[in-house]
Amino acid sequence: MTAAPLAVPDVGGAGLAAAGRELVAAMLAAPAGTVSPSVYETGRLVSDAPWLPGHAERLRHLLATQRADGGWGAPGAYGLVPTLSAVEALLSTLRSPGRVEPGEARRLAPAVDRGVAALRDRLLVAAEPVPDMPGVDLIVPALIDRIDALLGDGAVDRTGRPAPTLPMPYGMTRHRAEAVTRLIAADGPIPEKLWHAFEVLDGRARTHLRARPVSGAVGASPAATAAWLGDPTRPDADRAALAYLTEVVARGGGPVPCTTPIAVFERAWVLSGLARVGAAADVPAALTDGLAAALGPTGAATSPGLPTDADTTAVTLFALALLGRPVAPDSLLAYDTGTHFCTWQGEDGASVTTNAHVLEALGWHALHRPGRPYADVARRVAGWLVDGQLADGSWTDRWHASPYYATASAATSLAEYAPDAVAGRLDRAADWVRDTQRDDGSWGLWAGTPEETAYALQVLLGTGRPPRPDLAPVVRRALAYLDADRDGTDDDAPLWHDKDLYHPVLIVRAAVLAARQLAWSTGHAGP
């Protein structure tokens, strides 16, 4: 799931355009999309599908990605889901005769001990809410129960007493998981979005009539598909599902992402990000045709088998408009709640970035295609976004760990489509960005990253505000950080929300390229 490094020339204009064309070529070369592997999803295949090719590579991936403190994944509560998955996967491997050689078991056992200790000592007792990730209130109780069952077979703690069961984390209950189990038992209607986490649903879900693969995948998820498929040697085993799984693990060399393919999502974000700053040249018709074809009566979905959503729909519409292929945004209106736009029907919570993208899609059509009621709706969405700005000038969101992504999304959309109403708000956002720059010139939630540095530059340079008197040195330090030779550990930090955090490689490269283009076009990066 990796891509060759993007050559970023140190000249503007033609060099940046060439880098944009390279990104476009990379999307065509990897039509499923390019996204980082997931510890969570890989762990589910280790546990549920040890028969799949690449099992040994998946085990090695889990061992290689364990942190020194025993956990997996990002800092804090973000580490809970990947750690639960890795621990359960390694435990189930150790408890299954014949799955692992004795020498390999000697490597797995210490990793399990450290992982269980991390869960008991930090992740499950911390007074920190579990991040709002897709399916998390189903995933966490299911994996806790599985680990408890595996540990309960005579396990003892360091003092020799029976090992205690794992507690539920701070602020989380079993209510939703129990409600879904009751629905499955009654063969009731289950929201389409839940098939993405099929691997943690009650086993009776396998007979539910609506649980069927789309293009070979259940919920666009390798783990969900493997759980639905079950024993691949059954005479009635679904061949399309098996082919999907085999192709996904071959593409990644064993480890897998949470969602694949992501072609519509990747192409919409890359092309809209480049086109917004004038860096989307020579886009092949195959890409725009594909985006247009993805739009149906209720919009577009990230991947076949996932429900259509307002976020993917809005970014797809905006990308097509900027590329000269505008499509009327009427499909978006189905997500209008009267105050803001939901990401999908029945969404728990609300998304700043979804509404920022909706503002762009509706705002473009209000400016260029007058006569439809888009302007009034866009103004209402802009007001909702303004009201969601935090006191320090930033925004946060449920689809990305970093406030820099949410702030860039909100600020750039408001600057373009509600500039008269938000000037002071944009200045507050720019001040927050300026004041949170790190000493090395970067920005980042946990550590400086090129991705978050790109979003920060988009806030500073991409909102059309009069330049701040101290802006030039801030931008120079940021560009020096982006140009610096680093060890690469911060270049692919997963920050995007799925069942696990993930890194959409080409989308992030497009964001960095767009920031460089802004620096060049505003005179902050000379030839």
Arithmetic mean of pLDDT over the chain: 91
Angle CA(207)–CA(174)–CA(402) in degrees, nearest 5? Answer: 100
pLDDT value for 488:
59
- Asked, as a colleague might, if the bond just before 284 is cis with ω within 30 of 0, I would say no
Of 66-70, 97-101, 309-313, 417-421, the range with the lowest mean pLDDT is 97-101
Query: Residue 336 and residue 310: Cα distance in Å, rounded?
Result: 9
Tell whether 248 is covered by a domain: yes
The beta-strand segments (E) located in 368-514 are: 496-497, 501-502
Are 91 and 154 part of one and the same domain?
A: yes
Q: Which domain holds residue 407?
A: 14-35+260-521
**SS3 at position 411:** helix
What's the alpha-carbon Rg for the chain, to the nearest Å? 23
Tell which of 252, 278, 298 closes a domain.
Answer: 252
Task: Answer yes or no: do 181 and 316 share one domain.
Answer: no
Choice among 225-229, 475-479, 488-492 with the minimum mean pLDDT: 488-492
Is 84 among the domain residues?
yes
Mean pLDDT in residue range 46-53: 96
Report pLDDT for 137. Answer: 95
Tell me, yes or no, whether 206 and 319 share the same domain.
Answer: no
CB 359 within 8 A of CB 385: yes
pLDDT at 202: 87
Asked whether residue 243 falls in the same domain as residue 309, the answer is no
pLDDT single digits (tens) 233-260:
998 899 999 999 999 999 999 999 999 9
Does the pLDDT at position 489 exceed 70? no
User: Which pLDDT belongs to residue 4?
Assistant: 42
The CATH number for 91's domain is 1.50.10.160
- Domain end (from 252, 279, 298): 252
- Residue at 82 is within a domain: yes
- pLDDT mean over 492-507: 96
pLDDT of residue 5: 39
Quote the pLDDT of residue 79: 97
In a domain, 77, yes or no: yes
Let me know whether 28 and 45 are in one domain. Answer: no
Pick the residue with more confidence: 11 or 520?
A: 520
pLDDT band at residue 375 using 50, 70 and 90 as cut-offs: very high
Neighbouring residues of 114: CB distance < 8 A, sequence distance ≥ 6: 66, 69, 70
Verify that 45 and 24 share a domain, yes or no. no
**Is residue 162 very low, low, confident or very high in pLDDT (cuts 50, 70, 90)?**
low
pLDDT above 60 (res 268)? yes
Contacts 24+ apart (CB under 8 A), 450-453: 450/481, 450/482, 450/490, 450/491, 450/508, 450/512, 451/402, 451/405, 451/493, 451/495, 451/508, 451/511, 451/512, 452/402, 452/404, 452/405, 452/495, 453/478, 453/481, 453/482, 453/512, 453/515
**Phi, psi torsion values for 97, nearest 5 degrees:** -55, 135
Is 1 a member of any domain? no
89 in any annotated domain: yes
Q: Choose the final residue of a domain: 221, 236, 252.
A: 252
Mean pLDDT throughout 21-38? 95
Q: How far apart are CA 227 and CA 292, in angstroms?
A: 33
Residues 219 and 291 in one domain: no
> In terms of Cα–Cα distance, which of 19, 42, 22 is closest to 502?
42
Could you tell me if 333 and 297 are in contact, meaning their C-beta atoms sit under 8 angstroms apart? no
State pLDDT tens for residues 434-451.
999 999 999 999 999 999
Residue 151 shares a structural domain with residue 115: yes
pLDDT attached to residue 492:
86
If DSSP codes are grouped into helix, strand and coil, which group holds residue 336? Answer: strand
In a domain, 5, yes or no: no
Residue 527, in any domain of the structure: no
Confidence band of 487 (pLDDT split at 50, 70, 90): low
> Do both 77 and 191 map to the same domain?
yes
The DSSP annotation for 298-319 comes to TBB-SSTTSPPBHHHHHHHHHH
Mean pLDDT of 204-221: 86
Q: Are residues 20 and 54 in the same domain?
A: no
SS3 328: coil
pLDDT for 486 equals 67
CA angle, residues 94, 100, 102, in degrees to nearest 5: 90
Residue 214: how many CB atoms within 10 A of its CB? 16
Q: Same domain for 239 and 150?
A: yes
* Predicted confidence (pLDDT) per residue in 274-333, tens digit: 999 988 888 999 999 999 999 999 999 999 999 999 999 999 999 999 999 999 999 999
Specify whether 243 is located in the same domain as 310: no
Q: Find the angle CA(322)-CA(323)-CA(328) to the nearest 5 degrees.
A: 65
Strands 501-502 and 496-497: antiparallel
In tens, the pLDDT along 126-139 reads 889 999 999 999 99
Query: 131-135, 164-168, 300-304, 489-493 — which is least confidently predicted?
Result: 489-493
Our count of domains for the chain comes to 2
What's the CA gap between 7 and 219, in Å, rounded?
A: 35
What would the pLDDT profile of 89-137 be if each residue is shown by its tens digit? 999 999 987 777 777 788 899 999 999 999 999 999 988 999 999 999 9
Q: What is the mean pLDDT of residues 55-71?
A: 96
CATH code for the domain of 381: 1.50.10.20
